[in-house]
Amino acid sequence: MARAAVSGGLKLRRTWRPAVLVERRQETPSACSLVLEVPGWPGHLAGQHLDIRLTAPDGYQAARSYSLAAPAEGEQVDITVQGVPEGEVSSYLVGDARAGDSVEVRGPVGGWFVWKPEQSGPVLLVAGGSGVVPLMAMIRTRDGINGAPFRLIYSVRGPEDRIYHDELRRRAAEDGELNVTFIYTRTAPEDEPRPAGRISLDDLVSYGWPAETEPTCYVCGPTGFVETVSDLLIFLGHDSTRIRTERFGPSGP
């Protein structure tokens, strides 16, 4: 009986569902958030993603994965897409998708790279580029539920690439248990004391948690970024079983 219920749930998550784009918000010059209405959406956990499938008039189809950016609101889900140069699906979603467009989605997908409100211990979030999306879902889910202390270290090329910048600044100003640090790899703002450069051991020491506090660490971004940060965290003494990673490499066929 229980097995039938579980396999029924899995089948539902693997089934493509029709969805309609109901809202789009420009986040940066090259990234936008999309709100999708998905009839029958079963709900999701912070950190999970969905797959989205586009179908061209000639029947050609392309599917990609996108992290869920916020807790579900009824049957509405949020994703944030960073345009990739020459990217087949991201270019369409960022450049052409409009409210009223129909797509298909399936999910939610993923069970390890998740944060649940009952986890009350400290959390370190380390994002590279659009890797901030599932980490933002954790920050938004945590809001008002429990006071687990969160520290976010968010690596971007320059100020114009900061997704959710205003919301992150506002949340950090209002919430003493949320700390947000931007790391600029190419161009730092004039008033930024840290010179532009890739994330380093010093950054993780200065803006992360000491290993003795045993934080759960979530690291998300391009594959090379995730591997570098994971190695640095292990070097600093963090237990590998508490380091959870998600790589945003190419997900198409």
Instruction: Name which position in 28, 30, 33, 82 contacts ligand FAD (CB under 6 A).
Output: 82
30: Cβ–Cβ under 8 A, 6 or more apart, which residues?
82, 83, 94, 161
Work out whether 44 is an interface residue with ligand FAD (CB under 6 A): no
CB 108 within 8 A of CB 44: yes
Instruction: Name which position in 124, 133, 219, 233 contacts ligand FAD (CB under 6 A).
Output: 133
Distance, in Å, from the CA atom of 110 to the CA atom of 107, rounded to the nearest integer, reads 9
Distance, in Å, from the CA atom of 14 to the CA atom of 4, rounded to the nearest integer, reads 15
Compose the 148-187 pattern: x for residues touching ligand FAD by CB under 6 A, - for all others. ----------------------------------------
Instruction: Name which position in 6, 7, 42, 88 contacts ligand FAD (CB under 6 A).
Output: 88
Instruction: Name which position in 58, 86, 190, 212 contacts ligand FAD (CB under 6 A).
Output: 86
- Which residue has its beta carbon closest to ligand FAD? 87
Least Å distance, CB 212 to ligand FAD, is 31
Tokens 């996108």 correspond to 66
Tokens 């968010």 correspond to 154
Work out whether 251 is an interface residue with ligand FAD (CB under 6 A): yes
Task: Considering the complex, state which of residue 160 and residue 192 has its C-beta at the smaller distance from ligand FAD.
Answer: 160
Tokens coding 135? 């980490």
CB 162 within 8 A of CB 156: yes
Work out whether 36 is an interface residue with ligand FAD (CB under 6 A): no
Tokens 């061209």 correspond to 56
Tokens coding 47? 């950190």
Supply the DSSP symbol for 132. Answer: H
Task: Considering the complex, state which of residue 136 and residue 149 has its C-beta at the smaller distance from ligand FAD.
Answer: 136
Work out whether 141 is an interface residue with ligand FAD (CB under 6 A): no
Distance, in Å, from the CA atom of 46 to the CA atom of 50, rounded to the nearest integer, reads 12
Binding site for ligand FAD (CB under 6 A): 49, 64-67, 79-82, 84, 86-91, 130, 133, 222, 246, 248, 250-252
